[in-house]
A and B are shown apart, each in its own frame.
Chain A
């Protein structure tokens, strides 16, 4: 099946530092979604990117979709302890007539106060 690779697997940062997680697909994506899972919680949808080269911002979070629609990144500026959690990308593919969403392995972010 389709695979979405996500790096790094873990990231520890000091509060106030920036953080970036990257996703890559070997095939073109129809869209990419980003989710956040707090410790002990469930994945919660953050945002979706659909257009080539698209950039979206949510306060300190910046999401990018590559020109070739094969990669994406999430950048957090000046991390806070509330940013702790695991960030997942999920790439959208067409399989026949069905849409499928494949989750990356996630990046677990720890923010040290």
Chain B
């Protein structure tokens, strides 16, 4: 079975540019999570969706960040405009929200903003 698929794997761009990260969750999973990981702040939950609806976006750092989930098989995390402090590894994870199912993580997008 295919796991969580993220693209791109690596992104290097200049500050001020728009960045779009993409995620395809595991088929049948009804919850999707976006995390950001840095050395300083560890693994931070940015936002999560349940049945394509955003449930908790309190971790989204500021208005420059936005996330959408137009259907059950696709989600995007957008940063506009990007800043050097946004450099991090961004993970997408999915799971079945019923009965304590574990989260399955994608390989992540390593983002560098110059």
Tell me the A residues contacting B by CB distance below 8 Å. 1, 30-31, 33, 41-45, 48, 50, 88, 90, 92, 98-103, 105-106
Contact A42:B105 (CB < 8 A) given known A1-B58, A30-B100, A48-B100: yes
Assess the A45–B100 pair: CB atoms within 8 A.
Answer: no
The residue in chain A whose Cβ has the minimal distance to the Cβ of B56 is: A100
Tell me the B residues contacting A by CB distance below 8 Å. 42-43, 45, 50, 55-56, 58, 91, 93, 97, 100, 102-108
The residue in chain B whose Cβ has the minimal distance to the Cβ of A6 is: B42
Please give, as numbers and ranges, the residues of chain B lying within 8 Å of A42 by CB-CB distance.
91, 105-108
Contact A106:B43 (CB < 8 A) given known A31-B100, A50-B100, A99-B100: yes
Assess the A33–B102 pair: CB atoms within 8 A.
Answer: yes
- Tell me, in angstroms, the Cα distance from A105 to B58 when the chains sit together: 18
Assess the B91–A43 pair: CB atoms within 8 A.
Answer: yes
- Tell me, in angstroms, the Cα distance from A36 to B37 when the chains sit together: 14
- Tell me, in angstroms, the Cα distance from A90 to B45 when the chains sit together: 12
Assess the B102–A45 pair: CB atoms within 8 A.
Answer: yes
Assess the B104–A45 pair: CB atoms within 8 A.
Answer: yes
Please give, as numbers and ranges, the residues of chain B lying within 8 Å of A33 by CB-CB distance.
100, 102-103
The residue in chain A whose Cβ has the minimal distance to the Cβ of B50 is: A98
- Tell me, in angstroms, the Cα distance from A48 to B103 when the chains sit together: 11
- Tell me, in angstroms, the Cα distance from A50 to B55 when the chains sit together: 24
Distance (Å) between the CB of B7 and the closest chain A CB? 14
Distance (Å) between the CB of B89 and the closest chain A CB? 9
The residue in chain A whose Cβ has the minimal distance to the Cβ of B102 is: A45
Please give, as numbers and ranges, the residues of chain A lying within 8 Å of B43 by CB-CB distance.
43, 88, 103, 105-106
Please give, as numbers and ranges, the residues of chain B lying within 8 Å of A88 by CB-CB distance.
43
